[in-house]
């Protein structure tokens, strides 16, 4: 793959954030599922890997706080990236992840293409499902944090809210976590690994770069825009070194296996999962 011309798509910050959310999300998923299914032998086994119920809870809480810190850093990074002098243009241009009218149009075109009623949509830098992936995490993480922090400190929380609110917060926390796991392990994994042309793995989030010729088909408007603005030359980067590819393949497949194992667990123990 290294003989092809590659252009940069994700910078080092994006990639580090992605790896960070991968690791922390999977730890939260494992420790959360283990405690949710503690009445089953599987739950006991998983929880005992973390030193018992208390140990798993401590890991879950600590990693949760780490995620909150990571999210705050991410917000600071995003705010620093916006050019505030021309904020309207900066927020709503084609390089921005903010949902725009074009995304709705693309979705309509895509659905029409599904049923053979028109050409596939021509995407710019971000497709609508990539934007959804981003914003799903962006709203899921604060929801889990807002519901998780009072559950972490129930005594302090019950001073500023009635204790029965915690019953409702547990429901939100579990349901949102379940939704996040199902979405990532079914839909995100399918799009990232199983799609034709992606198959072993979509490497761009780890390599940071994509093949120019492939992108010309997938996201023609982006490449056209780069050429028009004369930025294509400076976007060309060398491919990832061999050792780095081996590393992220091992890492990515480890995460995939953990995720699919959790998905299997959800399916097997679905009768034991109570989100309230």
Partner 1 sequence: MHLRRLLRKAVLQAALGLLGALVLWPPAAPAQEEVTSSIRRYRERELSTGYYEEYEVKPRRVRPFVGAPEVVRRYPSVTPYRPRAAVEPNVRSRMEDSHAGIQFYELRRCEECHVEEAKHSHTTRGNLTCRQCHGGEPIAGINYYYSPLNPIRRHAYVCSKCHEGANISFATYLVHEPKAGDPATRKTFASLYYSNWFMYLLIVGTLAFFGLHTLIWVGKESYHAMREKMKPEPQAKSPPEKPEPEEPENE
Query: CA angle at residue 218 from 186 to 86, to 5 degrees?
Result: 95
Min separation Cβ 163 and partner 1, Å: 4
239, 203 Cβ separation under 8 angstroms: no
* Residue 270 lies near partner 1 (rule: CB under 8 A): no
Determine the number of helices (DSSP H) and then strands (DSSP E) in the chain. Answer: 14, 3
Contact call for residue 102 and partner 1 (CB under 8 A): yes
- DSSP 3-state assignment of 7? strand
Region of 6-14, 15-23, 35-43, 241-249 interacting with partner 1 (CB under 8 A):
35-43
Using CB under 8 A, which of 178, 201, 212, 256 touches partner 1?
178
CB 192 within 8 A of CB 198: yes
Smallest separation (angstroms) from partner 1 to the CB of 91 = 18
Report yes or no: 64 and 25 within 8 Å, Cβ to Cβ. Answer: no
> Interface with partner 1 by CB under 8 A: which range of 60-68, 108-116, 200-208, 262-270?
108-116
Q: For residue 123, what are the β-bridge partners?
A: none
Q: Does 21 bind partner 1 (CB under 8 A)?
A: no
CB 16, min distance to partner 1, A: 26
Should residue 155 be labelled a site residue for partner 1 when binding is judged by CB under 8 A?
Answer: yes
Q: Least CB distance from residue 13 to partner 1, whole Å?
A: 27
Specify the residue, 180 or 239, whose C-beta has the smaller distance to partner 1. 180
- Round to whole Å and give the CA distance between 259 and 29: 9
CA pair distance 238, 100, nearest whole angstrom: 32
Identify residues 223-262 at the interface with partner 1 (CB under 8 A). Answer: none
* Piece of 4-12, 13-21, 63-71, 159-167 that binds partner 1 (CB under 8 A): 159-167
For residue 13 the two structure tokens come to 């910050």
φ and ψ of 4, to 5 deg: -85, 155
Nearest C-alpha neighbor of 24 from the set 114, 123, 103, 140? 140
Q: Which residues of the chain form contacts with partner 1 (CB under 8 A)?
A: 35, 38-39, 53, 102, 105-106, 109-110, 113-114, 119-122, 129, 132, 136, 154-155, 158-159, 161-164, 166-168, 171-172, 175-176, 178-179, 182-183, 186-187, 190-191, 194-197, 220-221, 275-276
């Amino acid at each position: 793959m290294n003989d092809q011309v590659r252009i940069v798509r994700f910078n080092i910050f994006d990639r580090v954030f992605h790896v960070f959310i991968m690791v922390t999300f999977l730890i939260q998923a494992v420790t959360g599922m283990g405690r949710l299914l503690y009445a089953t032998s599987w739950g006991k086994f998983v929880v005992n890997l973390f030193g018992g119920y208390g140990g798993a809870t401590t890991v879950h809480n600590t990693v949760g706080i780490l995620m909150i810190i990571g999210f705050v850093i991410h917000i600071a990074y995003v705010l620093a990236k916006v050019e505030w002098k021309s904020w309207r243009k900066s927020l709503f241009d084609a390089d921005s992840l903010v949902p725009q009218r074009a995304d709705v149009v693309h979705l309509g075109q895509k659905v029409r293409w599904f049923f053979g009623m028109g050409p596939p949509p021509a995407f710019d830098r971000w497709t609508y499902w990539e934007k959804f992936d981003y914003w799903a995490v962006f709203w899921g993480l604060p929801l889990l944090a807002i519901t998780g922090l009072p559950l972490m400190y129930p005594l302090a929380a019950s001073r500023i809210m009635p204790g029965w609110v915690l019953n409702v917060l547990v429901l939100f926390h579990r349901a949102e976590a379940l939704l996040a796991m199902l979405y990532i392990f079914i839909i995100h994994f399918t799009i990232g690994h199983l799609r034709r042309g992606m198959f072993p793995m979509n490497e761009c989030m780890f390599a940071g770069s994509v093949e120019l010729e492939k992108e010309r088909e997938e996201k023609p408007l982006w490449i056209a825009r780069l050429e028009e603005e004369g930025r294509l030359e400076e976007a060309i980067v060398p491919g990832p070194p061999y050792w780095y590819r081996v590393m992220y393949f091992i890492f990515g497949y480890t995460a995939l296996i953990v995720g699919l194992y959790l998905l299997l667990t959800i399916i097997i123990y679905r009768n034991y999962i109570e989100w309230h």
